[in-house]
Amino acid sequence: MFLISLLAACGPAAIPEVTSEDSTAPVTDTEPPEDTEPPEDTEPPEDTEPPEDTEAPLPESGPCDLSATAAAIHLWEGDSVRVTARCENPDAGDWLIEPVAFSGSVVWDGESFAWLTGVEDGGRHELSFTAQPAAGDRFPEAASVTVWVADNPDDPDNVRPDPTTYTEEWGLPVIHVEPFSGVSESYVEARIHYGGVTYLAEIKIRGASSAGYPKKSYTLDFGKENLDTQGWLPDKKDHLVLVTPFDDNSYVRQKLAYDVWAAMADHWKVERLTPRTFFAVLYFDGVYHGLYTAADHIDDEFLGEMGMNREGNLYKSVNHDADFRRKSNLHAGYEKKEGEPLSDFSDLDALVWFTGQADTAAFLAEADEWLQLDEFMDWLLFVHYTAADDSGGKNAYLYNDPTAESAPEFRYTPWDFNHSFGQTWQTIRLSSNANNDFTSVNAVFEHIQEDPKASAELWSRLHEMMDAGGPLSPEWFEATLDDYYALIDSSAARDWAAWGDDYEGYWSGVRGRCSDCLDYPGERAYVYDWLTERDGWMRTYHP
């Protein structure tokens, strides 16, 4: 440890000149008369105060108010960073300031400390300082600044990070996966490290079209040894989904969609099935793989965390046959994910029979016996505002507890939003005045919009949520995006540097061109602009 001390550049406090009450009287060596006794029974005069001290107390300087700041907080191994520690109180007086808890080389240059990181410094560091008062009864103070050092594979002396200690990268949690065999669309065993804890778990590739991406999505299965997300999600998880941003150069669409749905529930002060997410960095066998959105796995565990009966029925709509209209197979377009037996779709068949055969008046008269109508209204407003054209019929979960004493009450859970906020699932631009009422893919949405009273309530809900501070207001979107990018900007830039060429090559092949593909900074700006324009269009189209 290389420790260097500095004396803070705060001048000593001035000490006033001390005088007696009679500084003009001559000083003599006269002794008092011998054997002089004071008069007996002499009482002191009433109301006489004790004499004041002839010396004023030495004034003490104030606290240091020690602060520590770094010129940069996101570093690469091998970078040097300037770190300053100083007393913020101008009346602090003299304090001795020392650095502590630095690794490697620390150099004092007369103004600040220069810390040179090494090839094994990857991870989070609390760079700490102490301040000791030079004099007086003041207490020592401490301050620290957090910096993150990322593993640098371009360093010729690079050492792969230790998965048990390299737990954060630029403020985001790191998930280390060490598969025991090639990862496929079937589970394979893997050793997974997270937050300094090692789990024996399983991993598989997930998704339909996304399974073909160069940078794929994954499902992690922790079995009975639940993953402790250490505060990033509120519950321990037996499964965790890692959603690739390979189809989203803004890196935020998936998380933004789920957070919008949660904010809508908060706005109405109701309980909804709301997937929770956080950003994370993935490493495979010690090698950087990229930035991901980690999300709840929609299953019986999720249902229990949402306060639902874990043994209820959970269905996922996987194609546009799931349109709530009558057909020979009433549950066509759905897969049953939870609820025994998995072959029993009777409650869903009954719902689709009702929504498909009832006229609008009959549907609205009996809707509350089948589903939460306000929740379905918000589902419509949600996908309408965000232009999530692939999520108004398919890419949704329906839940019902058939053991409940009340009538069936189907609930909605959102899923899969690569097609949203100004792009299609193929990353093609989607205008801010795109208008989809989803009546062709969802009979419930058609009933709501056909009835004047229900339609008026629908658009009234929209206007309230678009008001200042609401979950569909420009202020809410801007603040939310600002928070995201303050957290992920460095990580997103690193991911784009790693995957940008693959992105352009892959999507040029799928789309036949990539002339309107944007890089990460361009896509980030595009999402802000699209949301601003979307607000203007919505207020014009829905005055």
Flag the least confident range among 160-169, 317-326, 406-415. Answer: 406-415
415/526 same-domain check? yes
Spatial separation of the C-alpha atoms in residues 421 and 466, rounded to whole Å: 16
Tell me the pLDDT tens digit for each residue of 474-506: 999 999 999 999 999 999 999 999 999 999 999
Contacts of 38 (CB under 8 A, 6+ apart): none
Total number of domains constituting the chain: 2
122/261 same-domain check? no
130/268 same-domain check? no
- Domain with 88 in it: what CATH number? 2.60.40.10
Residue 60's pLDDT is 58
437 in a structural domain: yes
pLDDT at 269 over 80: yes
Q: What is the mean pLDDT of residues 231-244?
A: 94
Residue 7's pLDDT is 38
343 in a structural domain: yes
* Residue 43 binned pLDDT confidence (cut-offs 50, 70, 90): low
266/141 same-domain check? no
* Mean per-residue pLDDT of the chain: 89
Residue 27's pLDDT is 38
* Residue 14 binned pLDDT confidence (cut-offs 50, 70, 90): very low
Spatial separation of the C-alpha atoms in residues 441 and 437, rounded to whole Å: 9
Of 150, 181, 216, the residue that ends a domain is 150
Of 94, 128, 150, the residue that ends a domain is 150
Tell me the pLDDT tens digit for each residue of 193-235: 999 999 999 999 998 888 999 999 999 999 988 999 999 998 8
328/451 same-domain check? yes
436 in a structural domain: yes
265/122 same-domain check? no
Q: What is the mean pLDDT of residues 429-457?
A: 97
Please give the residue range of the domain that contains residue 328. 245-273+308-541
Q: Are 308 and 401 in contact (CB under 8 A)?
A: yes
Of 128, 150, 172, the residue that ends a domain is 150
pLDDT at 11 over 50: no
Identify the burial level of 58 via C-beta atoms within 10 angstroms of its C-beta, where 0-12 means exposed, 13-18 middle and 19 or more buried. exposed
* Residue 65 binned pLDDT confidence (cut-offs 50, 70, 90): very high
Per-residue CA distances from 258 to 261, 263, 386 (Å): 5, 9, 11
Residue 138's pLDDT is 84
255/116 same-domain check? no
pLDDT at 15 over 80: no
Q: What is the mean pLDDT of residues 406-419?
A: 92
pLDDT at 527 over 60: yes
Tell me the pLDDT tens digit for each residue of 281-322: 999 999 999 999 999 999 999 999 999 999 999 999 999 999
* Residue 52 binned pLDDT confidence (cut-offs 50, 70, 90): low
pLDDT at 44 over 90: no
514/400 same-domain check? yes
DSSP assigned state of 371: B
- What's the start-to-end Cα distance of the chain, in Å? 66
Alpha helices in 17-63 (DSSP H): none
258 in a structural domain: yes
pLDDT at 33 over 80: no
pLDDT at 29 over 60: no
Spatial separation of the C-alpha atoms in residues 207 and 188, rounded to whole Å: 16
165 in a structural domain: no
403 in a structural domain: yes
DSSP assigned state of 215: S
pTM (predicted TM-score): 0.86
* Residue 25 binned pLDDT confidence (cut-offs 50, 70, 90): very low
201 in a structural domain: no
The single residue listed with the structure tokens 């109405």 is 268
116/249 same-domain check? no
440 in a structural domain: yes
Spatial separation of the C-alpha atoms in residues 92 and 12, rounded to whole Å: 9
